[in-house]
Amino acid sequence: MESSKSSIFLLLFIAILRSTSWTASASVVDDFIKCVSVYSNLSIPISTAFFTPNNSSFTSVLESSAQNLRYLTPSAPKPEFIFTPFHDSHVQASVICAKQLDVHLRVRSGGHDYEGLSYVSEIETPFIIVDLAKLRSIHVDIEDNSAWVQAGATIGIGGHITGGAYGSMMRKYGLGADNVVDARIVDVTGRILDRAAMGEDLFWAIRGGGGASFGIILWWKLNLVPVPATVTVFTVAKTLEQGGTKLLHRWQQIVDKLDEDLFIRVIIQPASGEGGNRTISTAYNSLFLGDTSRLLKIMEGSFPELGLRRKDCTETTWIQSVLYIAGYPSGTPPEVLLQGKSTFKNYFKAKSDFVKDPISESGLEGLWKRLLEEDSPLTIWTPYGGMMSNIPESEIPFPHRNGTIFMIQYLTLWQDEKEDAEKHMDWIRKLYNYMGPYVSMFPREAYVNYRDLDLGMNKKSSTSFILASIWGISISRTTSINW
């Protein structure tokens, strides 16, 4: 009898806790809606702008642009609610109201954050998400050769301003951030500022120092760049048995010196070789801003070792080349890019490096050995040089310029939530340690758009300038704008 009473008491206690939690959440969202209505210029269609865990669309909205499934598991912290603004003033009001109500704010635009920081908060609770997905307008001014682009606009492949908008053309035109000429942000006090109002120091900082460090980016004004009517793409893969190691060593020696119209990255991963044995595939994935005939002449003079043939090449339009580089099947209509959703969704952990000197063949062989130990690893080697080397490292806070041959992105991926995540995390950390002698050092550089919390993170209520100053001095230089 005593046991039965205890059980009933426990169930009642749990019910009360859940009721109290729901009431607190309801109070937060109700207070926030009232506050935003006071501080914004336009009325908000509540039913389509706010999503609480009790809303049937909450999960789909939370998962809509998130790429890393590690942060969407049931145990991952969830926001009190998600707010999807329809207007700049709604974002401005969000900043003001979050401060007034003492609610932690997470802001998501493209969902590109590899560590899920735009939609998960491990140390700050309660938290809410302001999702900019509906702020996707683009205003093109042909006469001015520019475009104003809202921060929620993506190209459907997990793009961001350093890569997504310009990406494979950066050797010709630099980064997207190099082509930003103005911006509008909501600063930490809730003011909307353009370049003139924010001043040149802040405008410099948001183009590479991580926009979220200084406020919420609303709009970017970008210079438009010309592309030819015809471009050429190709992918040529070589395994280790086909001389892949020597070919990749040669690629490192010449890739930053190639014609700036030519972009050749290398996608490296295990593959099935002769007799079904596991080997390494090095796929040379390229965009050339011109026709096949000119490309073949350049390749014959600069990189004949690849053995590129006319039948390997496909002439197409630039917009179709975006689909090709992103890995869409042939024939995919370009309208798929308007969906604004990434096709990349996995459980994964990523890291990055910058390479200043070619990695030796013995170093590559050690890399192959380690890649073959993991279930589903991937590395992508992105070439620099061209315009990237001509822009001073202090022009914007992106210092990976002259002297950088290429950037490496390392990933380990898995599809099953039940898999041992720590096993994969341990593997990539060991790989990263192995690569230390072959990459930039003092400091060892990294790319913030491939965010890696192993490099360091804030500790709640104990962050200081002295601790933060380690960044860029002895651990890592990590820069770029993160959409």
CA 73/CA 56 separation, integer angstroms = 17
Instruction: Report whether the peptide linkage leading into residue 333 is cis, meaning its omega lies within 30 degrees of zero.
Output: no
Judging by DSSP bridges, how do beta strands 262-272 and 377-383 pair with one another?
antiparallel
Least confident of 173-187, 342-356, 430-444: 342-356
Checking if the pLDDT of 468 tops 70, the result is: no
Alpha carbons 435 and 433: distance in angstroms, whole number: 5
Peptide linkage before 79 cis (omega within 30 of 0): no
Residues 54-68: what's their mean pLDDT?
93
**CB-CB contact of 183 with 220 (8 Å):** yes
The pLDDT assigned to 403 comes to 95
Please state the pTM of the whole predicted model.
Answer: 0.89
What pLDDT is recorded for position 459? 73
Residue 233 has pLDDT above 90, yes or no: yes
Dihedral sign, Cα of residue 221, residue 226, residue 231, residue 237: negative
Contacts of 75 (CB under 8 A, 6+ apart): none
Q: Is the pLDDT of residue 194 over 50?
A: yes
Compute the radius of gyration of the chain from its Cα atoms.
24
Q: Is 273 exposed, middle or buried (0-12, 13-18, 19+ CB in 10 A)?
A: middle
Residue 312's pLDDT band (cuts 50, 70, 90): very high
Average pLDDT over every residue of 134-145: 95
pLDDT beyond 50 at 252: yes
Answer positive or negative: Cα dihedral of 344, 132, 103, 211.
Answer: positive
Which residues of 384-440 form beta strands (DSSP E)?
A: 406-414
The arithmetic mean of pLDDT across residues 79-91, rounded, is 95
Cβ neighbour number for residue 132 with a 10 Å cutoff: 26
What is the predicted pLDDT for the residue at 344? Answer: 74
Q: Are 380 and 408 in contact (CB under 8 A)?
A: yes
Whole-angstrom Cα distance, residue 390 to residue 159? 24
- The number of beta carbons lying within 10 Å of the beta carbon of residue 250 is 16
User: Rounded to the nearest 5°, which phi and psi values hold at 185?
Assistant: -135, 160
> In this model, does residue 20 exceed pLDDT 70?
no
The predicted-structure confidence for 424-443, as pLDDT tens digits, reads as follows 999 999 999 999 999 999 99
Q: Does residue 358 contact residue 252 with C-beta atoms inside 8 Å?
A: yes
| Res 170: pLDDT | 94
Give pLDDT, residue 375: 96
Q: 378 forms bridges with which residues in the sheet?
A: 411
What dihedral angle (degrees, nearest 10) is formed by the CA atoms of 438, 443, 447, 452?
90
* Residue 464 pLDDT greater than 90, yes or no: no
Task: Work out the burial of residue 204: count CB atoms within 10 Å of its CB; fewer than 13 is exposed, 13-18 middle, 19 or more buried.
Answer: middle
More confident residue, 242 or 461: 242
pLDDT tens, 216-230?
A: 999 999 999 999 999
236 C-beta neighbours (distance < 10 Å), count: 17
Dist. CA 68–CA 349, nearest whole Å: 8
Q: What is the mean pLDDT of the chain?
A: 88
**What's the token pair of residue 288?**
């050339």
pLDDT at 91: 96
pLDDT average, residue stretch 167-183:
93
Q: Which of 106-115, 333-342, 383-392 has the highest mean pLDDT?
A: 383-392
Q: Which pLDDT band holds residue 156 (cuts at 50, 70, 90)?
A: low
Judge contact between 280 and 378, C-beta under 8 A. Answer: no
* pLDDT value at 472 more than 70: no
Question: Higher pLDDT residue, 248 or 15?
Answer: 248
With cut-offs at 50, 70 and 90, classify the pLDDT of residue 25.
Answer: low
Asked whether residue 470 carries a pLDDT value surpassing 80, the answer given is: no
pLDDT tier, 27 (very low <50, low <70, confident <90, very high otherwise): confident
The pLDDT, as a whole number, for residue 56 is 94
Q: How confident is the model at residue 213 (pLDDT cuts 50, 70, 90)?
A: confident
Q: What is the structure's pLDDT at 211?
A: 54
